[in-house]
């Protein structure tokens, strides 16, 4: 079965691992590039790298991002030299950023670089970029500053209250042919339990991608990043509340109403089922906390059965 997954970083990678573990699935993952940022002259693409490292089995399982068995000596040198080092970049990780930056400087397509990196790491899942153009999340805080995603998320630890989210470069961005083909050719489209506002929105917002998804005949199933009314981690709840959206599975259903036929929610949120159905997507209750590979694979299997097994 051809499955296309829309995914951010940590939540997205968990869903990707579960789907990739299925024998009968050919998986394409469209990742988020709006967290990308330049550090020390190097182009860093955190969500794409989280997908690559996770699917390669190289991820630091404790923190869910970064490479296992990592050191920080390069960062120590940068610190000694007076550079800002709030963005934690490990020594092994730096190698990838150097390679990516060098190839971008040569004019290689970011999509080709991501594909070659994934292959070199032994990843057989297709990791696709929604666009080869630069699109970057910008967050306006209540004190009037515009922050990049990493400034907000890492440097300021999500402390500032958000007033507005924008994506620079979005209007001019063109979708990649690979992403459009994966969407059009998919037999099932899954929206990972990623941050709807800063992981999924910048994929859906690339001109042509949202339209392709709406035009796709495949069933579309989203998974809620909220469990028992709370996010597993990260700022999605506070961001949604700050923007006047409901910070729960109903809010997610409303966000994806035009897109998802179904929303998989946790048993703990079963009471929200009627309100979710009223937004559009049909709710399906499951156990959606993914700790182990077995959890991820079980949830993926259940999603496939929802899509393909006759009810």
Report the residue number, 150 or 224, with the smaller CB distance to ligand GDP.
224
Report the residue number, 47 or 302, with the smaller CB distance to ligand GDP.
47
Strand order in the sheet with 126-128: 126-128, 26-30, 2-6, 188-191, 220-223, 262-266, 282-286
Size of the site for Ca ion (CB under 5 A): 4
According to the binding rule CB under 5 A, does residue 47 interact with Ca ion?
A: yes
Binding window for ligand GDP (CB under 6 A); candidates: 18-26, 98-106, 158-166, 282-290: 282-290
Binding window for Ca ion (CB under 5 A); candidates: 30-38, 94-102, 208-216, 278-286: 30-38
Q: Report in angstroms the alpha-carbon separations of 310 from 188, 218, 298, 304.
A: 15, 15, 18, 11
CB 263 within 8 A of CB 249: yes
Site string for ligand GDP, 28-47 (x = CB under 6 A): -------------------x
Report in angstroms how near the CB of residue 85 gets to ligand GDP at its nearest.
20
14 binds, among ligand GDP, Ca ion, none (CB under 5 to 8 A by kind): ligand GDP
- Residues whose CB falls within 8 Å of the CB of residue 175, separated by 6 or more in sequence, listed in order: 130, 131, 206, 207, 208, 209, 212
DSSP 152: I
According to the binding rule CB under 6 A, does residue 289 interact with ligand GDP?
A: yes
221 binds, among Ca ion, ligand GDP, none (CB under 5 to 8 A by kind): none
Q: Which residue has the tokens 């970057």?
A: 136
Can you tell me the distance from the alpha carbon of 132 to that of 226, in angstroms, rounded to the nearest whole number? 30
CB 254 within 8 A of CB 245: yes
- Judged by CB under 6 A, the chain residues 218 through 237 that form the site for ligand GDP are 223-225, 227, 231-234, 236
SS3 for 165-176, per residue?
A: EEEECCCCCCEC
**Contact residues for ligand GDP, defined by CB under 6 A:** 7-12, 14, 47, 192-195, 199, 223-225, 227, 231-234, 236, 288-290
**Contact residues for Ca ion, defined by CB under 5 A:** 8-9, 35, 47
């Amino acid at each position: 079965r051809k499955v296309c997954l829309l995914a951010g970083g940590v939540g997205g990678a968990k869903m990707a691992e579960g789907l990739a573990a299925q024998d009968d699935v050919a998986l394409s993952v469209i990742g988020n590039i709006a967290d990308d940022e330049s550090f020390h002259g190097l182009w860093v693409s955190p969500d794409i790298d989280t997908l690559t490292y996770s699917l390669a089995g190289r991820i630091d399982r404790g923190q869910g991002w970064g490479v296992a068995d990592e050191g920080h000596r390069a960062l120590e040198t940068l610190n000694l030299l007076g550079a800002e080092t709030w963005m934690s970049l490990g020594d092994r990780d730096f190698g990838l950023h150097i390679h990516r930056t060098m190839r971008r400087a040569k004019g290689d397509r970011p999509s080709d670089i991501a594909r070659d990196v994934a292959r070199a790491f032994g990843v057989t899942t297709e990791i696709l970029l929604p666009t080869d153009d630069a699109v970057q999340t910008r967050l306006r805080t209540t004190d009037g500053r515009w922050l990049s995603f990493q400034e907000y998320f890492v440097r300021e630890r999500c402390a500032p209250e958000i007033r507005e989210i924008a994506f620079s470069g979005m209007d001019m961005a063109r979708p990649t042919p690979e992403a459009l083909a994966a969407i059009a050719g998919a037999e099932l489209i899954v929206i990972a339990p990623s941050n709807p506002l800063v992981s999924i929105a910048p994929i859906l917002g690339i001109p042509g991608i949202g339209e392709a998804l709406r035009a796709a005949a495949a069933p579309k199933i989203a998974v809620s990043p909220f469990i028992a009314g709370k996010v597993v981690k990260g700022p999605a709840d506070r961001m949604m509340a700050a923007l006047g959206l409901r910070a729960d599975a109903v809010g997610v259903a409303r966000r994806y109403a035009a897109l998802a036929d179904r929303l998989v929610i946790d048993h703990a949120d079963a009471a929200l089922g009627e309100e979710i159905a009223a937004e559009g997507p049909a709710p399906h209750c499951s156990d959606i906390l993914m700790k182990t590979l077995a959890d991820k694979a079980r949830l993926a299997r259940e999603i496939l059965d929802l899509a393909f097994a006759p009810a």
